[in-house]
Amino acid sequence: MMASTINKRAEQIDVTVLSNKRIGAYHQILLNIGELVLHCHPGNFVAISVGDKTSSMVLRRAFAISRVSHRGEYGGTLELIVAPHGSGSRWLCEQGEGATVNIVAPLGTAFGIPTNPAQALLIGGGYGSAPLFGLAEVLKSRGCRVDMILGASTSNKIYAPIEGKRSVNSLKIFTEDGSTGILGKVTDPLPSLIAEGVVDVIYSCGPMGMLSAISAIAQSSQVVHQCAVEESMACGIGICMTCVIPVVDATGVISMLRTCIEGPVMDGSTVQWDLVGKVV
């Protein structure tokens, strides 16, 4: 693939942090990105340069776009939901209002939106659910019914349940320890919902194990499953090949595709989940 065809809308720019709010276990970070917002869609991600000039963190860090807006006093804004786990994400979470960060955006493939109104089920795990809120707004604007299931191991890892309830027609929350919502996993109600015929398409974001389990259930039906896979991305522009994942094509041939280019949004039925992390 020629470089000119890769993320041709992407730009590398310095942007200003408008706000950085702690929400539960996560940080909601708002960036002012100007007209670039017009090319950012749910499912895309940004690659951010982390650390100062003396930092040993030479690789950019990839973060999913939660939502974008071109309204309001700041013009084009981009929202990120960040869990301060590694050194790069912790550095980003330390950047306060007025700080400048360097980003490359938009990167990767976005979620496909139905051409006609459909019944959409959005399933999110932990802070991986963040991109689903912006997606819900787009789907509802297209006349779709939008239901959402959020899940995590425990209550403090559920991102913004109140905001989720505002964004969709219905919301169910599952926790594995039963500390909030329903005791269980997000996949528990899926077979019955599909059998009832109330799901045309599933959109999911979250841990790979969760995506694999959803795919296994969806494949036994006619329901389309679009998932945003979670693989470590070192460059974000398709060069380093650290984010490859095994995907089968219509002829049965398995190829290692780059999740930063051919993904992160993929057809869940084509991902060879049992081969993820293995050499094929």
pLDDT tens-place string over residues 49-64: 998 776 777 788 999 9
Confidence of residue 114 (pLDDT cuts 50, 70, 90): very high
pLDDT band at 264 (very low <50, low <70, confident <90, very high): very high
- Whole-prediction pTM value? 0.91
Out of 1-5, 47-51, 192-196, 246-250, least confident range:
1-5
Is the pLDDT higher at 237 or at 42?
42
- pLDDT of residue 121 exceeding 90, the answer is yes
Cβ(213)–Cβ(189) below 8 Å: no
What's the pLDDT at 205? 94
- Residue range 27-44: average pLDDT? 94
Instruction: Report pLDDT for 2.
Output: 38
Q: What was the pLDDT predicted at 36?
A: 94
What pLDDT score does 130 carry? 83
151-180 average pLDDT score: 85
Non-local CB neighbours of 54 within 8 Å, separated by 6+ positions: none
Nearest by Cα to 183 from 161, 212, 147, 151: 151
Beta bridge partners of 247: 255, 271
Q: Which residues of 66-90 are buried (b: 16+ CB within 10 A; e: fewer)?
A: bbbeeeeebebbbbbbbbbeeebbe
What is the average pLDDT score of the chain? 90
pLDDT at residue number 4: 43
As given in the structure block, the two tokens for residue 35 are 């007209």
Q: Given 3.40.50.300, 3.90.1150.10, 2.40.30.10, 3.50.50.60, which CATH number is that of 3-107? A: 2.40.30.10
Report yes or no: 238 and 215 within 8 Å, Cβ to Cβ. Answer: no
> Does pLDDT of 96 surpass 60?
yes
With bands split at pLDDT 50, 70 and 90, how would you rate the model's confidence at 6? Answer: low
Instruction: Give the model confidence (pLDDT) of 199-246 as tens digits.
Output: 999 999 999 999 999 999 999 888 999 999 988 887 888 888 889 999
pLDDT confidence band for 262 (50 / 70 / 90): very high
State the average pLDDT over residues 81-108.
94
DSSP per position, the chain: --GGGSSTT-EEEEEEEEEEEEETTEEEEEEE-GGGGGG--TT-EEEEE-S-TT-S--S-EEEEEEEEE--STTSSEEEEEE---SHHHHHHHT--TT-EEEEEEEESBPPPPPSS--EEEEEEEGGGGHHHHHHHHHHHHTT-EEEEEEEESSGGGS--HHHHHHHSSEEEEEETT-SSSEES-TTTTHHHHHHTT--SEEEEES-HHHHHHHHHHHTTTT-EEEEE-----SSSSSSS-TTEEEEE-TTS-EEEEETTTT-BEEETTTB-GGGTTS--
Phi, psi for residue 129 in degrees, rounded to 5: -75, -15
Domain boundaries, the chain: 3-107
Residue 1 has pLDDT above 70, yes or no: no
Give the model's pLDDT for residue 158.
85
Look at residue 70 in the predicted model and tell me its pLDDT: 86
